[in-house]
């Protein structure tokens, strides 16, 4: 099946710094990628939809200036958590949908655990 | 609008026993339905999906689910639990061809398998 890779898988940073998480589709082109946030023992909450070559669409309540999303190519989307604070600590997961055909299936990355000290 | 409700945040089963995870959905259009499994500190892996056609769908690892429109349900079952089935399971719904076609997830059900 299609492979989506996230990097880094774990990151620890100091409060006030910015952290970039990459999401790559390794064997297919992804016109649309989705970024989710997952708190411990909770479900996935959609943060934003990332479309190649255009601005991301953010869900209600998600600060677009806090969570910068860039989808510069058909295989790469990045999420930058700016001026991170401890409350931003979470598990961030991306998913991608291919360009050819559609059955509704999304392919998920392995997730990136962010810890802000 | 669409939503998913998973009954039971935790399910405990004995090894070899039936696994039944309940999922009910609401959708304004005929939905696409999915079950995903998540192991600790990992992303989600698709177990199975229903789009159209046969309402009983078979997935990986011996799991299957049945789409029941009249009950707005998509329960997941496995006849005989294995220790490796211990994980978090998420039911999800999307609306075909809807703008953005976003997945909406249920709250998840954590499965514990007892030896």
Q: For A36-78, what is each residue's pLDDT tens digit?
A: 999 888 888 999 998 888 889 999 999 999 999 998 888 999 9
How far does chain B reach from its first CA to its final CA, in angstroms?
A: 41
Give pLDDT, residue B100: 56
Q: Strand B104-105 to strand B2-7: parallel, antiparallel, or no bridges (unpaired)?
A: unpaired
Query: Residue B62 in 3-state DSSP?
Result: helix
**Nearest-CA distance from A104 to chain B in Å?**
7
A1 pLDDT band, cuts 50/70/90, is low
Give pLDDT, residue A98: 65
pLDDT tens by residue, B50-108: 988 999 999 999 999 999 999 999 999 999 999 999 999 999 998 776 555 678 899 99
Which residue, among A21, A117, A7, A32, has the nearest Cα to A68 in the 3D structure? A21
Q: Would you give the DSSP letter of residue A43? A: -
* B72 Rama sector, left if φ>0, alpha if ψ -120 to 50, beta otherwise: left
Give the gyration radius of chain B's Cα atoms: 14
**Nearest-CA distance from B102 to chain A in Å?**
8
- Assess whether pLDDT exceeds 80 at residue A105: no
HEC assignment per residue over B7-31: ECCEEEEECCCCEEEEEEEEECCCC
Give pLDDT, residue B94: 86
Give pLDDT, residue B40: 86
- Assess whether pLDDT exceeds 70 at residue A10: yes
pLDDT tens by residue, B23-62: 999 988 888 999 999 998 888 999 999 988 999 999 999 9
Count CB atoms within 10 A of the CB of residue A113: 16
- CA nearest B31 in A: which residue? A104
Please give the residue that has the higher pLDDT: either A85 or A1.
A85
Q: Measured between alpha carbons, how far is B35 from B23 in angstroms, rounded to an integer?
A: 9
- Assess whether pLDDT exceeds 90 at residue A89: yes
A with B: how many residue pairs have Cβ under 8 Å apart? 60
* B57 Rama sector, left if φ>0, alpha if ψ -120 to 50, beta otherwise: beta
- Assess whether pLDDT exceeds 60 at residue A33: yes
Give pLDDT, residue A103: 58
CB contact under 8 A, B101 and A108: no
CB contact under 8 A, A106 and B96: no
Give the gyration radius of chain A's Cα atoms: 13
- With contact defined as beta carbons under 8 Å apart, do A74 and B3 qualify? no
Chain A hits for B34, CB-CB cut-off 8 Å, are 104-105
Does residue A8 have a cis peptide bond before it, meaning omega lies within 30 degrees of 0? yes
Give pLDDT, residue B30: 84
Q: Work out the average pLDDT over A89-101.
A: 82
Give pLDDT, residue B43: 86
Query: With an 8 Å Cβ cutoff, is A34 touching chain B?
Result: yes
What sign results for the dihedral spanned by CA atoms A6, A38, A45, B45?
positive
Query: Residue A99 in 3-state DSSP?
Result: coil
Query: With an 8 Å Cβ cutoff, is B30 touching chain A?
Result: no
């Amino acid at each position: 099946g299609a492979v989506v890779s996230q990097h880094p898988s774990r990151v620890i940073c100091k409060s006030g710094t910015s952290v970039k998480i990459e999401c790559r589709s390794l064997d297919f082109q992804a016109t649309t990628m989705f970024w989710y946030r997952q708190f411990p023992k909770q479900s996935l909450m959609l943060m934003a939809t990332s479309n190649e070559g255009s601005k991301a669409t953010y869900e209600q309540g998600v600060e677009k200036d806090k969570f910068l999303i860039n989808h510069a190519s058909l295989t790469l989307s990045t999420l930058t958590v700016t001026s991170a604070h401890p409350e931003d600590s979470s598990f961030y997961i991306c998913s991608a949908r291919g360009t050819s055909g559609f059955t509704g299936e999304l392919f998920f990355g392995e997730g990136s655990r962010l810890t802000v000290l | 609008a669409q939503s998913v409700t998973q009954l039971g945040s935790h399910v405990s089963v004995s090894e070899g026993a039936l696994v039944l995870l309940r999922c009910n959905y609401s959708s304004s259009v005929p939905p696409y339905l999915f079950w995903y499994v998540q192991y600790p500190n990992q992303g989600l892996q698709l177990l199975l999906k229903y789009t159209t056609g046969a309402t009983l769908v078979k997935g990986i690892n011996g799991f299957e689910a049945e789409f029941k429109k009249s009950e707005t349900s998509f329960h997941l079952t496995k006849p005989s639990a294995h220790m490796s089935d211990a994980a978090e399971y998420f039911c999800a719904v999307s609306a075909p061809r809807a703008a953005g076609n976003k997945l909406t997830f249920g709250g998840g059900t954590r499965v514990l398998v007892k030896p």
